[in-house]
Amino acid sequence: MENRNIIVIGASAGGFEAIKQLINDLPADLDAAIFIVWHMSPDVRGILPHVINKMGRLKASHAIDKEKFINRHVYVAPPDHHLLIEDDRVRVTRGPKENRFRPAIDPLFRSAAFSYASRVIGVILSGALDDGVAGLWAIKQQGGLAVVQDPLDAEVSSMPANAINAVRVNHIVPIKDMGALLTKLVQEQAPAPTSGENIDHERTVMEVRLAMNEKLSKKEIFEYGELTPYTCPECHGVLTALREGDRIRFRCHTGHAFSADSLLAGITGYVEETLWNTLRSVQESILLLNHMGDHFAEANQPKVAAMYFKKAADAARLADVIRQATFNHEQLNTDNIRDQANEQPN
C-alpha cells in the first residue's frame, strides 16, 4: 500500500501569502511530491519557485514538460501553461483555458486523480470564483482527500467557500494549521482505489486528454453532456452542460471549460467588450459622415452635405446611448450578486 503522497494545491487572488506560509510549515523531509497552480497573468515572470527556495526548506522549480517528478520537491505551473500529472512525470501544456485561466487548477487536480486516485490530497486556498471545485470533485470521486482553507481565514474567500458548498470536504482549517495537517495526512496509507468504469471516470479521461492537447472529436465531448443555447466566451463554440451531482459546468467542442460562475463572468465581460467595440464603430462612422459632409459641401452640393451632417448627428445621439449603456453595464459573478442581495433591506 502507498501513502497519500501526491499533494496538489490551487490558489488565486490572495493565495500568494497562503502558499508561502503553507510551504514554510512543511518539513524539508516531507515524503510527498507537491504541485502548485497559482493563477497569474500570462505575461508575468513566475517568481513563486524563487520565493520558496529562499525559505530554505523544500526545493521548488517551474515544472518542465515530461520530467520525472520526485518527493520532497515543489513543482509550480509556469505562466500561461497548464501543469498536469501523467504517470510518474509532469506535463506542461498550453491546452484550452479553463474558467478563463491558464494555468488552471482543475486540469492539475483532474490529472492527479486519474493517475493516482486515493493517493491524492487536493488543497484549495484563497481565491475568487470557483476554479478547482470540479478538480476537487474528481479527486473525491477517486478516493482522494479534499482539504480547504477556512473561508474566514482566507484573504479572498470565494474559492474555499465554493469548494465547501460543492464537495464533501474532509478538512477545513486555517492556513496556520494546514502544514501540520498535511504532514500527518501524508503518513496515512491510501485505501485501495475503487474499481470499475463509470461516466465520471470516462469523462475525466476525456478532459485530461483535452488538457494534454490531444485532438478529440466533437462527438467525444458532446456525448458526456447536453447541448445548451450558450456559446463559449473564448471561441463562440456551442457549450455542452456537464453535471456533477447538483452542480453544472460547461465545455465547448474546442475544449474551453467553465463553471456556471465563470461562464457568467465571461459572458458579461464579453458584453462590455462588445459595447466598447460598438461605441468605437459608431464614433468612426460619425467621423466619416462628417468628413463626407465636408467633401460634398466643398463640391457645392449643400443638400447632400446636409444629409451627411444629419446622419452624423443621429449617430452621435446613438453613441451617447451606447456610452451610457457601457458605463452602466456590470460584469457579474456569484459573489457580487450575493453582496448586492445582502445589501437589500429585509
Q: Is 12 in the active site?
A: yes
**CA distances to 69, 296, 316 from 291, in Å:** 65, 9, 14
Closest CA to 154 of 143, 145, 163, 167: 163
Closest CA to 11 of 88, 92, 119, 109: 109
β-partners of residue 68 are 89
CA dist., res. 160 & res. 154, Å (int): 8
The one catalytic residue in 106, 131, 153, 261 is 131
CA dist., res. 236 & res. 221, Å (int): 16
Q: Is 25 in the active site?
A: no
Cβ atoms within 10 Å of 3's Cβ, excluding its own: 14
Identify the three-state secondary structure at position 190.
coil
Q: What is the DSSP string of 68-136?
A: BP-SSEEEEPPTT-EEEEETTEEEEE----BTTBSS-HHHHHHHHHHHHGGGEEEEE-S-STTTTHHHH
The whole-angstrom distance between residue 16's C-alpha and the CA centroid of its chain comes to 16
By DSSP bridging, strand 82-86 and strand 120-124 are: unpaired
Q: Is 150 in the active site?
A: no
Cis amide leading into 345 (omega within 30): no
Q: Catalytic site residues?
A: 12, 39, 131
